[in-house]
Amino acid sequence: MSESIDGLVGRELDAAVAVRVMGWKIAPEGNRWRVSATGDYNNSWCVDSPNLADLDSDTTERLYGRYAMPAFSSEITAAMDVVEKLRSLGFHLELITAVGGWEVSVYRRYARGGEVVPPLLAQYEGLSLPEAICRAALAARQNEESHV
């Protein structure tokens, strides 16, 4: 990962979550870039920059409708999509209120001798629950990739 998770803010954090957690694809196409939230070429669009953070949500919503990049790190509904994505990938999350914000822990579930043993992959605190979910999700994916 080229950039520290702690250094990502706002739409840069949202873009990192879109690609590294939610599985959005960005591929060069001529002098533009094709973005797909579903992996389906027919459900994709072209942009001028490979950096999704360059696209504000108002512009993408107006131009691309339902393919606008959600504000994962600031809107709870979008952050819960991240939680559901992680659950579908076999992760377990704990969301806990903490002093001044939230603490999110991400575990990988696996069975050992009939017992579920959840090793901790990542733990992050944030002022808001969506921010903490996004940072913990990125850290979990990064930590899992580094152990493969």
Mean pLDDT value of segment 53-63? 52
CATH number of the structural domain spanning residue 94: 3.30.160
Which of 67, 95, 117 terminates a domain? The answer is: 67
Q: What tokens does 14 get?
A: 């949202």
The pTM score is 0.77
Same domain, 139 and 81: yes
Mean pLDDT value of segment 41-62? 60
> How high does pLDDT run on average in the chain?
79
pLDDT on residue 64 = 46
Same domain, 49 and 101: no
pLDDT on residue 62 = 45
Same domain, 61 and 93: no
CA-based nearest residue to 57, from 34, 74, 80: 74
Which of 45, 67, 89 terminates a domain? The answer is: 67
**In the chain, how many domains are there?**
2
Which of 33, 67, 101 terminates a domain? The answer is: 67
pLDDT of 47 over the 80 cut: no
Helix, strand, coil percentages in the chain from 3-state DSSP, rounded to 5: 40, 30, 30
pLDDT on residue 103 = 95
Three-state DSSP at 31 gives coil
